Amino acid sequence: MIDFANVRTITGKELRDGLRNRWFIVFTVAFAGLALALSSLMQPGGIRPALMSYSRTTASLINLVLLFVPLIGLTLGSANLSGDRETGALVYLLAQPVSRVEVLLGKYLGMAGALFATLTLGFGVAGVALALQGSINDAGGYLLTVLLAYLLALAMLSLGFLMSTLAQKTAAALGGALFLWLFLVFIGDLGIMGTAITMQLPIEAVFLIAVLNPLQMFKIASILTIQANLEVLGPAGLYATDQFGGLLLPLLLLGLVIWMVLPLLGAVVLFARQEKFTQKGSAR
């Protein structure tokens, strides 16, 4: 049985440590600053910036989220368990009357809270600036994009924790996380395009390959929140709109939830099995 009091205690400690982490502070300030910068647009005369509408700001922030959020989630998640393992803090923590599942869930929830703080500050600064200018007509799509960014952050954090359970050293975990980030962000789009051209795949296969990437799920879902169709994505977008219609957005949300849950379950199972291996090794 999971003692949620222990989970809550570990969550609070991880959240406090995360908010004091210098890299977290750098990420937060950078994301908030870039979000505010993207919410403004120079007037034709270049004299003063004019704040854009929520929909235009959302379109600008999508690419920022695609680069920033996976990097933060993967690196912070991958360095968590592996870092504590190297410093000996994990051994000390596990010596307390807590289970490994409680430790992992507490650490995950604490890091998730820190990530939410970063995203809330970034999106909030841009959103408040727009609201003060009276640009609130299309705020619904903006808020849905914030929700999608939260889900993407949790999915990337789950992958980071899975990486942290697989790697014994922090350097190895961070290296794996950075490689995965590069693959998802850069190689993903280019690989899909190259594969589609080389193998002459049908449009439905191209769309299926695209949505296997959680970043592409976020991108497509975010575009749907600010416009009714996916014409901007070309034939694959038109196919998705015609094939799934109004079910496309719920399916994409479900896909992001699956990307959040499955890696976290994998991390929990691996972390628990490591406990069994340790017990067997000590019995010998």
- What are the structural domain ranges in the chain? 4-283
Q: What is the mean pLDDT of the chain?
A: 80
Query: Could you write out the DSSP letters of every residue in 41-108?
Result: EE-TT-SSEEE--HHHHHHHHHHHHHHHHHHHHHHHHHHHHHHHHHHTHHHHHHTSS--HHHHHHHHH
Structure tokens at 63: 């690419």
Give the bridge partners for 40, in sequence order: 51
Q: What is the pLDDT of residue 230?
A: 64
Share of the chain above pLDDT 90, in %: 31
Q: What is the pLDDT of residue 235?
A: 64
The encoded tokens of residue 65 equal 């989220």
Per mean pLDDT, which range of 39-43, 271-275, 276-280 is the poorest? Answer: 276-280
pLDDT at 137: 62
What's the rounded mean pLDDT across residues 29-36?
Answer: 83
Q: What is the pLDDT of residue 49?
A: 47
Q: Which of residues 191 and 265 earns the better pLDDT score?
A: 265
**pLDDT one-digit tens code per residue, 235-265:** 666 777 777 777 888 999 999 999 999 999 9
Give me the pLDDT at residue 212, please: 84
Residue 246 confidence (pLDDT): 76
| Residues sharing a CB contact under 8 Å with residue 257, sequence separation 6 or more, in sequence order | 151
| Stronger pLDDT, 143 or 108, i.e. the higher one | 108
Average confidence (pLDDT) over 65-89: 89
Kindly indicate the confidence band of residue 193, based on its pLDDT and cuts at 50, 70 and 90.
low
The pLDDT value given to residue 160: 94
Amino acid occupying residue 198: T
Rg, C-alpha atoms of the chain: 21
Select the more confidently predicted residue: 50 or 184.
Answer: 184
Residue 40's SS3 state is: strand
